[in-house]
Amino acid sequence: MTTNNPGSKLDQSEINETSAAIVEKPAEKSGFVKNVGYVGFATFISRIFGLLREQTFAGLFGAGIFTDAFNAAFKIPNLLRDLFAEGALSSAFVPIFSEYKSVRSEQETRDLANIVVSTLITIIGVICVCGIVFSEDIVRYMAPGFENTPGKTELTVLMTKIMFPFLILVAVAAVFMGMLNSYGRFFIPAFAPTLFNLGMIISGFSVCYVFKYMGYEPIVGMAAGVLIGGSMQMGVQYRSLKKLGYAFKFRLSLKHEGLRRIVKLMVPATVGLAATQINVFVNTWLASQLADGAISYLNYSFRLMQLPIGIFGVAISSVTLPLISSQIARGEKDKLSETITSSLSLVFLLTIPATFGLMFLKDPIISLLYEHGRFGRADTINTGYALLGYSVGLFGYSAVKILAPVFYAFNETRIPVIASISSVICNIILNFILIKNYSYFGLALATSITMILNFTILFVFIKLRIRAIAVKRIAASFIKITLASAIMGVFLFYLYDGIFIHTKAMFFGFDTLYNFFCLSVLIPLGIFILFNLGEKLKVEEVNTLSAVLKEKTKRVLNTLTNLNKTE
């Protein structure tokens, strides 16, 4: 059912009107791109530390029984995190909080935040207790194949119990992130996961040895590191909110109008945004019955794919959602359609080239990041197969992060649920078809096809609701960017496979240095080729990005010139 938002000034009939030509000042568009750039940069730092965390993990534990156990254990609270915290909660909380901020008093806005946080702590606390009590049953259901390896199920259960409270930390952190984004503070929320990754890296070289001394498997220390990192992630955002004058006060009020509206959106949003994690759950269940290491290969490759999703998809979504929510509350229908059109075009520009880059340069990328310690050459090759499957759906993953929250900003809950259920059914069918001949590569590919389907359904319905979305412009950008990216990818592959591979002997067995050299040359070259092809093909977003980069470069040069003059 579609419910009406009392704070919204934009009704269905107004949205369906054919808008006049949309004119947006270049400064406004470049400002949007700049905010995306700030979030993208902070997220890039976070993802780099995430890769360092994965390097630490791969170097210490490789890909096998212990890593399979940890990854399966972490997926349980991680699944609930995306369903009840960062995914559904953000999509439901930000539109209502942004509306309160736009049309209500500051005190009412802060009361809403306190009530939401207090309710989360209470409800998720109960969920965590139940999860810990029934963790053995959950693990046996989620990874039945672990029973074939002695001790694997028991280790997974132990780490599941340790990591369940992480759900409380990340849920509260998600609310703090939504608040900061609504206040126009984008950098700290995007940077906060860096501290989570840092906490786990430090734990790998310290807490793991403490647990080993206590008689446990060292990898259990990484489970404790999840709690340490989660506390750091939440704490840095709360500190930033305190600077804005916010101080948390525990307050329960289940009848609060704002809380009821958030819950009303969040229940279907939990289903609507569940496709990715439910698909990952199904993949884990099936992969647990394959050879040892299959879950790890899927996990390592999925983490790699999360790098561009985090830098581009999440960055654009973080900036777009508060903006769209405010535009709906103020009735700015022309700006709304332009924001969605620009966001999707920008997502395609940033993720489609990343897809071809991951496909054609998967070997040096995986080798540089993971091939250390117990992670060998065979692991690199196997992880590469999984990465190929996941890369296909990269643009779909990122675009869904833009479109799904738009429906919740309209208080429209039906369409995301339809898209999600359709995607899950498609994923299950494809999994059983593809796993027979393609093993874990088939599981990854099925997930990608599923997310593309999810995006397609959402896009069709958002166009029916907002007529002014420039479909021809989006389609033209998609085709041009895909063409330019394919040319770039093929060119880079032939450079790597035809020329750079013959220089490997010059590095005297230092493979890390060789891979770093290859990527440090090929990636900038790929960006240069892409921008040149984009300008020749007249891709509007390339020109916008170029203008922002030129302005930034000019400012840096002017600053350096002024410093020289003062000296």
> Which residue has tokens 């050459």?
377
- Show the domain range for 204: 12-566
pLDDT at 6: 41
Q: What is the pLDDT of residues 365-374, one digit of tens each?
A: 999 888 877 7
The answer to whether residue 282 sits within a structural domain is: yes
> What pLDDT band is residue 226 in, cutting at 50, 70 and 90?
very high
- Asked, for residue 541, whether it belongs to a domain, the answer is yes
Confidence label for 25 from pLDDT (cuts 50, 70 and 90):
very low
> CA-to-CA distance for 538 and 542, rounded, in angstroms?
8
Q: What are phi and psi of 499, to 5 degrees?
A: -120, -55
**8 A C-beta contact, residue 357 and residue 312:** no
Q: What is the mean pLDDT of residues 157-168?
A: 93
Burial of 261 (0-12, 13-18, 19+ CB in 10 A): buried
Query: For the ranges 10-24, 437-451, 482-496, 519-533, which has the lowest average pLDDT?
Result: 10-24
What CA–CA distances, in Å, run from 546 to 28, 186, 458, 537? 15, 22, 30, 14
Enumerate the β-bridge partners of residue 412: 2
| pLDDT recorded at residue 421 | 85
Q: How many CB atoms lie within 10 A of CB 235?
A: 15
Contact 224, 164 (CB under 8 A): no
Residue 3 inside a domain? The answer is no
Question: By percentage, how much of the chain surpasses pLDDT 70?
Answer: 85
Question: Taken in order 97, 41, 280, 324, is the CA torsion positive or negative?
Answer: positive
Amino acid found at 437: N
Residue 186 has pLDDT above 90, yes or no: no
> Which 3-state string (H, E, C) describes 409-422?
HCCECHHHHHHHHH
| 331 phi-psi bin (left φ>0, alpha ψ -120 to 50, beta other) | left
- Nearest-angstrom CA–CA distance, 552 and 558: 10
Range 268-272 average pLDDT: 68
pLDDT level of residue 561 (50, 70, 90 thresholds): low
Say if 465 falls within a structural domain: yes
pLDDT over 90 (residue 8): no
What is the number of structural domains in the chain?
1
Q: How many residues does the chain have?
A: 567
| 490, 360 Cβ separation under 8 angstroms | yes
DSSP characters over 158-181: HHHHHHTTHHHHHHHHHHHHHHHH
Query: Residue 243 falls within a domain, yes or no?
Result: yes
> Worst-scoring range by mean pLDDT, 257-261, 371-375, 546-550?
546-550
Encoding tokens for residue 368? 């540089």
State the average pLDDT for the chain: 82
Confidence of residue 12 (pLDDT cuts 50, 70, 90): very low
The answer to whether 39 and 181 have CB atoms below 8 angstroms apart is: no
Buried b (16+ CB within 10 A) or exposed e, 64-81: bbbbbbbbbbbbbbbbbb
Q: What are 119-141's pLDDT values in tens digits?
A: 999 999 999 999 999 999 988 88
| Average pLDDT of span 91-98 | 83
The closest of 177, 174, 197, 196 to 187, measured between CA atoms, is 177
pLDDT given at position 40: 74
- Coil, helix or strand at residue 258: helix
Residue 317's alpha-carbon distances to 92, 311, 313, 339, 483, in angstroms, are: 14, 10, 6, 11, 25
The pLDDT of residue 21: 34
Mean pLDDT for the stretch of residues 158-174:
92
Whether residue 6 is contained in a domain is answered as: no
0.75 surpassed by pTM: no
Residue 436 predicted with pLDDT over 60:
yes
Question: According to the model, what pLDDT value does residue 564 have?
Answer: 55
For residue 156, is pLDDT > 60?
A: yes
7 assigned to some structural domain: no
The answer to whether residue 1 is domain-embedded is no
189-224 pLDDT per residue, tens: 888 989 999 999 999 889 988 988 898 889 999 999
Distance, in Å, from the CA atom of 14 to the CA atom of 10, rounded to the nearest integer, reads 6
CB-based contacts of 10-18 (< 8 A; 24+ apart in sequence): 10/328, 10/331, 10/333, 10/336, 12/465, 14/331, 14/333, 15/333, 15/465, 15/466, 15/467, 16/465, 16/467, 17/333, 17/467, 18/467, 18/468
CA separation for the pair 361, 345 (Å, rounded): 24
